[in-house]
A and B are shown apart, each in its own frame.
Chain A
């Protein structure tokens, strides 16, 4: 994508940062989605096994969207926010649902 053979170091760091966001951040986001949805779908009345299956299957699509978002975002900062914010919300949702379910179980 560049005519030069050597690229500026800053650019390399930028690519590395976004790759980390897409690969590891995206995975964490997908994992949080899987955990959170598994618990919340149960609360809507779905059988436990189906809730987990649905949440896990869709989590791969979440990772896909996360990766695309990271590289489509205008700035690296925005790319990271788009990963961290929803991941934090889902983690909180998991904790909330888990606290409720833990009491029942």
Chain B
């Protein structure tokens, strides 16, 4: 796209396209990447933000945990129609219980939840917080707006990103050679190298995460295929599709065209009906706490023989304390990405302890398997700790790629500024927004974590105030960036971020959580993981700050009292 309309090569036009599809949604993409990357540790963030849960230390013996939890449920919700217990794992210290009371309204509203102490089965009361779910939701539907609007905005930005990535690849024909070229301390050249290196280093990840992001939003963004094939009833398509994705809710094999209800809602409605009918039936209640141990042992043997080696992750009791009760055990984790995290299940008769059903794992069609692989990879679903950390680090690299791209836009225009002898308003606007978003969002996230521990537990609308604090801190960072010279703004905010995050593992034990010494000693990997992720972020921003300070010294010597609008301004 040359202004003089002269013909140009494909690489020039792609370079133009890359710049503008990257810069226009750039800040939003940075926010999406940043909060999305943190969401790889969603469970860990949730756990950290409810320090009351740190005190729950599960025993090594799953049977004992299950027995205690089931006894606890007997006291907590004796008349429920169903209980579901998520057993503790490497990311979770407690037993997460959900249950549905008789006559509970359909859907999510009818589901009650509680966290149980893994050692005692007692309910743990936690502070009111949205936890990591706020950051997770923000990364694909933003905040304080209609859910569909938020998804459209993020979806459009993602489509821009998709174009930016592919046009970027076309632009840099020597992309892999350039990956090994880093020329530090060369101003613009170094920024370009850094941008290229972060882009190429994780290129498969960038393409996967962007394309799968579009796929995850496709019901909102691209309903026209379903609309055409289902005569305007796109809902029917979504249900049929979910019915085939057994991660949804189990029935798996229902590949028939006429499956009426999607997943959970339909099934639990049915459960409720049955529970209601037999309420008055006689018979003896089963001592589940005693019966669960042998069932767990059976499941373990069965799954080991099946070639996989999974522990039980979830226990669902249907019609507890009533005749005809069943216990469903579900393996923790899945062997396959193509099934969207479906895992092996066994259904027991609670009274006899015998296996009643071995629901087979569904086999998805090629099309849904393809989509499921992308969805599972995007969400790190059932990824082990190593894969999770790799995804997190790829996310960090992706965030850095967006950030270096944004900075590069400003750095590239430095010569133009010098020639003009002033900073055009547009340049300054981008420069200020860059700081206010790149370091400002990190500051806001830090403030969110700090407020989680500093706001009084009994504060009204507590969860909302944590989120308000997030946005107020972000706004403050933007204002600060606008008031200070660019380089000073970068440096001050980087130092603030580094200090905020490096102190989080210290704040944790002072405000009710388990510090690193205890969480390591007790093997609470979730808490340890959060602390290390925070230290990693602190180190990254500290490194940038150190870089900025070092670069300052020779420049200050060389040009004392240099005009603040010089090149030094724009190269952080």
**1/0 contact string of A36-72 vs chain B (CB within 8 Å):** 1111001000111111111111011001100110011
B222 engages A71 (CB within 8 Å): no
Contact partner, A8, options B1, B3, B166, B218, Cβ 8 Å = B3
- Give Cα A60 to B19, complex, Å: 20
Q: Which A residues between 1 and 41 are near B, CB-CB below 8 angstroms?
A: 1-5, 7-8, 11, 14-15, 18, 22, 30-32, 34-39
Given A15-B1, A42-B229, check contact A68 B167 (CB 8 Å): yes
- Give Cα A48 to B228, complex, Å: 11
A37 engages B163 (CB within 8 Å): no
Give the chain B neighbours of A68 by CB distance below 8 A. Answer: 14, 17, 163, 166-167, 170
**1/0 contact string of B488-500 vs chain A (CB within 8 Å):** 0000000000000
Smallest beta-carbon distance A31→chain B, Å? 4
Q: What's the A-B contact tally at a CB cutoff of 8 Å?
A: 124
- Give Cα A4 to B3, complex, Å: 10
**Interface size counted on chain A using CB atoms at 8 A:** 48
Residue in A closest to B156 when the chains form the complex, CB atoms: A23
Q: Which of B102-110, B193-201, B237-245, B471-479 lies at the interface?
A: B237-245
Given A3-B416, A14-B5, A49-B244, check contact A34 B225 (CB 8 Å): yes
Q: Which B residues between 411 and 426 are near A, CB-CB below 8 angstroms?
A: 416, 420, 424
Residue in A closest to B228 when the chains form the complex, CB atoms: A35
- Give Cα A34 to B221, complex, Å: 11
Give the chain B neighbours of A1 by CB distance below 8 A. Answer: 1-3, 16, 19
B241 engages A49 (CB within 8 Å): yes
Asked whether B371 is an interface residue with its Cβ less than 8 Å from the other chain, the reply is: yes
- Give Cα A3 to B412, complex, Å: 12
Smallest beta-carbon distance A7→chain B, Å? 5
Residue in A closest to B158 when the chains form the complex, CB atoms: A60
Give the chain A neighbours of B240 by CB distance below 8 A. Answer: 48-49
Q: Which one of B14, B16, B229, B424 has the greatest number of beta carbons of chain A within 10 Å?
A: B229
Asked whether B365 is an interface residue with its Cβ less than 8 Å from the other chain, the reply is: yes
Smallest beta-carbon distance A94→chain B, Å? 6
Smallest beta-carbon distance B58→chain A, Å? 40
Q: Which B residues between 331 and 390 are near A, CB-CB below 8 angstroms?
A: 365-368, 370-371
A50 engages B228 (CB within 8 Å): no
Give the chain A neighbours of B371 by CB distance below 8 A. Answer: 53, 57
B225 engages A55 (CB within 8 Å): yes
Given A1-B1, A52-B229, A105-B231, check contact A72 B13 (CB 8 Å): yes
Asked whether A74 is an interface residue with its Cβ less than 8 Å from the other chain, the reply is: yes
Asked whether B159 is an interface residue with its Cβ less than 8 Å from the other chain, the reply is: yes
B159 engages A60 (CB within 8 Å): yes
Give the chain B neighbours of A50 by CB distance below 8 A. Answer: 365-368
Give the chain B neighbours of A30 by CB distance below 8 A. Answer: 222
Given A50-B368, A63-B159, check contact A71 B1 (CB 8 Å): yes
Q: Which B residues between 455 and 480 are near A, CB-CB below 8 angstroms?
A: none
**1/0 contact string of A69-105 vs chain B (CB within 8 Å):** 0011010000000000000000000100010011001
